[in-house]
Amino acid sequence: MSVASRSDLAHKRVLVTGASGFTGRYMVAELQSQQCHVIEVGSQGGVPGAHESHLADLRDAQALTALVQATRPDVIVHLAALAFVGHGSVEEFYSVNLMGTRNLLSAVEQAGLALDRVLLASSANVYGNAAAGVLDEGTPPAPANDYAVSKLAMEYVAGLWKERLPITVVRPFNYTGVGQAEQFLVPKIVSHFARRAPLLELGNLEVSRDFGDVRAVVSAYRQLLETPEAAGQVVNVCSGRGHTLADILAMCETLSGHSLDVRVNPAFVRANEVKVLLGDNRRLLDLIGSWNSPPLEQTLAWMLQAAAPGTPVGGAG
């Protein structure tokens, strides 16, 4: 398939929800580099590169409608979500991820905006416990936890607007980078190596994931925004390469020159653990053309350097 045509994002008003989060900060920088007028919507504010900053709660439909009417964006990038699978409040997964998205789409409709694009961030977790093969967008969803169910429900509710709004749903697989919270596995591992801790407790070391780099992920999102043919599509964003936690431990040991004692803590082994998540990115490449996520070694080296600037680290690129 030939690569789709491109539209120019320069000077477009782009509203980014979750702008103060891990992915949001990189997304704002990516859009700013394209000369977009970035409207930051988040829970904290003050994201570098944003031209406007607004605090908003997605669960407050009335306030969200007023915000959309006041800012009148051309494009919306919806990243705000409760993303940590181990989060304790089941209700918040649905109130934020599902109803928050519905409130946003309803606000756009009430404001009467003719948007160029809405990009909604879902998750590859919607595929569930697929244990073998490479997952493409045609893989039947089988969510295995409330986070994944809330994301799949969000996709279904977005379908109610598919005839009226140019929506692209992205399903990112796992990705990481500098600034991701240590409650997530890769930053936790990196932190232990960077500070040369003697011991690290983890869950199942043979869990395999398609680990991407946040910088490549936001580049893919931006390029999808520039691709008119991406409207109405569900698109995996992934590297197509799988690594286990044991692989990551070995890479960090090589990069840092530090060895530590790794113990499997049964308390960290989740029920309904998704054993393998490896993505097929052919649809993404068909739409945007040349794109690749850096090798995981490069991402880990970048993270180790940021965590311990005085520690010699090789392999960064």
| Of residues 317 and 259, more confidently modeled | 259
Q: State whether residue 264 is helix, strand or coil.
A: strand
pLDDT band for 316, please (50, 70, 90 cuts): very low
pLDDT at 131: 54
227: number of CA atoms within 13 Å, CB side?
A: 24
Contacts of 256 (CB under 8 A, 6+ apart): 193, 194, 196, 304, 308, 311, 313
Query: How far does Cα 218 stand from its chain's mean position?
Result: 8
pLDDT at 314: 43
Mean pLDDT value across residues 266-278: 75
pLDDT(40) > 60: yes
pLDDT at 299: 98
Q: Is 175 a catalytic residue?
A: no
Residue 302, amino acid: W
pLDDT at 49: 87
pLDDT at 34: 95
pLDDT at 312: 47
Mean pLDDT value across residues 168-196: 95
Catalytic residue among 26, 94, 147, 221: 147
Q: State whether residue 80 is helix, strand or coil.
A: coil
pLDDT at 216: 98
Where are the chain's structural domains? 13-176+213-239+273-293
pLDDT at 103: 97
> How many of the other CB atoms lie within 10 Å of CB of 28?
27
Cut 0.85: pTM above it = yes
pLDDT at 85: 59
**To which residue do tokens 């709660």 refer?**
57
What distances in angstroms separate CA 261 from CA 86, 101, 188, one per listed residue?
24, 43, 14
**Which top CATH class is 13-176+213-239+273-293?**
alpha beta
Of 23-37, 210-224, 228-242, 260-274, where does mean pLDDT reach its minimum? Answer: 260-274
pLDDT(58) > 70: yes
pLDDT band for 88, please (50, 70, 90 cuts): low
Mean pLDDT value across residues 68-74: 97
Give percent of the chain above pLDDT 70: 91
pLDDT at 149: 95
